[in-house]
Amino acid sequence: MRIFISTDIEGLSGVSSWEWWKNNEKATTEILVRHLVPVIEVIKEYDDKAEIVIVDSHSKGENISVLDFSEKYSNIFLINGFPRKDYMMSGFDNTYDGVIFVGYHSLIGGGGAMDHTYSSSSIYNIRVNGEPVGETAINAAFAGEFDVPVMLVVGQKEMEWEMKRYLPDTVFVPVQEAVGRFATKNALLHDVDRSIRIGTEEAIMRMQKALIKPFTFSSPIEVEIDWLSSSIADVVSQMPIMEKVSPRTTRYIVNNWVEGFRWLLSAVYMSYLGQR
């Protein structure tokens, strides 16, 4: 078994704001590892030779290191650092059996704490084929282009709508709920551990029975991005694929999401040039 795990921090139990993360980086690392350990241990119980690739995907990917994992684990690899190709899905291909998202959060406007979609400083909204999407659907569709399903998502309770809309067969383990944009109601970590173990066991069972189907966007794929300012749209619309359809909105159309995903990341990176 070969499993790909993409991590974020906004959907972790105990992380309430970006300010808290910056002031408590060591604690955030411990919290993230304690969300990952039950996933790793259940996978290894099913297949002690399983290969697990963990991709540190929050900010510059410097939230965990090889020092944070027990020496009892084997055949586990960590991708971190920035910049890197495909960012939250870095190194992904069709050799994986399943994908797991840990610490994921709601789309921008979705009601979760620190809600955003790829860039809180550039993006107001993203729509694919007319429907609002967040990082969960965006990244799941990238995996789907390789015919690999997302088997488990651990994150914010506010993601429930997205899960039902885009990943109805995927096991969902909510561990955090918003009280405000920068305030959260958090499950204690021993309860988080138990919930994630149960969820991982169910996800493996459902994957083995082929009950979870890969998710993809219907082609042709139209992507509309509402930027936070017209100056960002001015810059991003210089990309040959981008059409500026309003002062703050750009649009592009692709036939597959591997291409569409990479154009989106390129637009996000370029958007920082338009922030003044």
pLDDT at position 11 is: 98
pLDDT at position 276 is: 76
pLDDT tens per residue, range 73-117: 999 999 999 999 999 999 999 999 999 999 999 999 999 999 999
Q: Provide the pLDDT confidence category of residue 66 given band limits of 50, 70 and 90.
A: very high
Across residues 253-276, what is the average pLDDT?
Answer: 95
CA torsion, ordered 152, 215, 117, 196, to nearest 10 deg: 0
pLDDT tens per residue, range 116-128: 999 999 999 999 9
Query: pLDDT exceeding 90 applies to what percent of the chain?
Result: 97
pLDDT at position 35 is: 98
Across residues 33-48, what is the average pLDDT?
Answer: 97
Burial of 229 (0-12, 13-18, 19+ CB in 10 A): middle
Q: Provide the pLDDT confidence category of residue 1 given band limits of 50, 70 and 90.
A: very high
The token duo for 87 is 């960012």
pLDDT tens per residue, range 214-225: 999 999 999 999
Across residues 151-162, what is the average pLDDT?
Answer: 97
| CATH 3.40.50.10780 placement within the chain | 2-208
Which residues, at least 6 apart from 197, have a Cβ–Cβ distance to it below 8 Å? 38, 41, 42
- The predicted model scores a pTM of 0.96
pLDDT tens per residue, range 183-205: 999 999 999 999 999 999 999 99
Beta bridge partners of 5: 54, 100
Q: Distance (Å, rounded) from C-alpha 195 to C-alpha 38?
A: 9
Q: Distance (Å, rounded) from C-alpha 62 to C-alpha 181?
A: 24
pLDDT at position 232 is: 97
Across residues 28-51, what is the average pLDDT?
Answer: 97
The token duo for 191 is 């309860």
pLDDT at position 275 is: 87
Burial of 85 (0-12, 13-18, 19+ CB in 10 A): exposed
2-208 fold = Rossmann fold (3.40.50)
DSSP string, 177-229: EEEETTEEEE--HHHHHHHHHHHHHHHHHHHHTT-SPPP-PPSSEEEEEEESS
| Average pLDDT for the chain | 97
Q: What is the layout of strands, in order, in the sheet containing 98-104?
A: 76-79, 51-56, 2-7, 98-104, 150-156, 171-180, 183-186
